[in-house]
Amino acid sequence: MKIEIRELPFAPWEALQRYESEVVADRYSGKFGASAVFVGSMRDFNEGDEVRGMTLEHYPGMTEQELGRIVAEAREQWALLDELIIHRVGDLLPNEPIVLVAVWSAHRKDAFEACRHIMEALKSRAPFWKKEQLDSSSRWVDKNTDGY
């Protein structure tokens, strides 16, 4: 399992390929038949307004712990081999990736369902907060929409 909170932009597909080839394939060669991935990126619109940029704040320490707890819970429910979570903080621009959640398992059911569960739990529990920059003002995002 790897959980990374980062200030700098990242390339999710390169990070995924690197983690799979350097870590997952090394530990679980021939064992993972399924991987599921979610990548969330920044939109340039929200609630009818154009959004120019975004600042993501987090609670250092608790964010990593809560993500670790979410993964541990997922491991109790599904047969996972490995997990990778990368989440941006700091200043973001539209199109930039915000979050990557990837899981590896022997079979697709575990991968699909665990990836979804981890992502939804991250949205509702991991202590991150978004502040949007509009043309001439900024605003905190009140709450995340329910993904189910």
Partner 1 sequence: MTVKVKFFASLKEQMGCDGATVAIGEVATAADVWLAASGGKAMPTNVLVAVNMEYCDPNQRVRSGDEVAFFPPVTGG
Provide the 8-state DSSP code for 79. -
126 binds partner 1 (CB under 8 A): yes
| Identity at 108, one-letter amino acid code | R
Give me the residue label for tokens 């021939």. Answer: 30
Task: Kindly state the smallest distance separating residue 43's Cβ from partner 1, in Å.
Answer: 12
H/E run at residue 97: strand 97-105
115 binds partner 1 (CB under 8 A): no
123 binds partner 1 (CB under 8 A): yes
With CB under 8 A as the contact rule, the residue among 71, 99, 103, 114 that binds partner 1 is 99
87 binds partner 1 (CB under 8 A): yes
Phi, psi of 58 (to 5 degrees): -145, 175
117 binds partner 1 (CB under 8 A): no
Task: Kindly state the smallest distance separating residue 14's Cβ from partner 1, in Å.
Answer: 20
Written as six digits, the tokens of 104 are: 């590896």
Task: Kindly state the smallest distance separating residue 106's Cβ from partner 1, in Å.
Answer: 27
Sequence-distant (6+) residues with CB within 8 A of 24 are: 32, 35, 81, 82, 104
Site for partner 1 in 22-81 (CB under 8 A): 40, 56-59, 61-62, 65-66
Q: Which residues bind partner 1 (CB under 8 A)?
A: 40, 56-59, 61-62, 65-66, 87, 98-99, 119, 122-131, 140-144
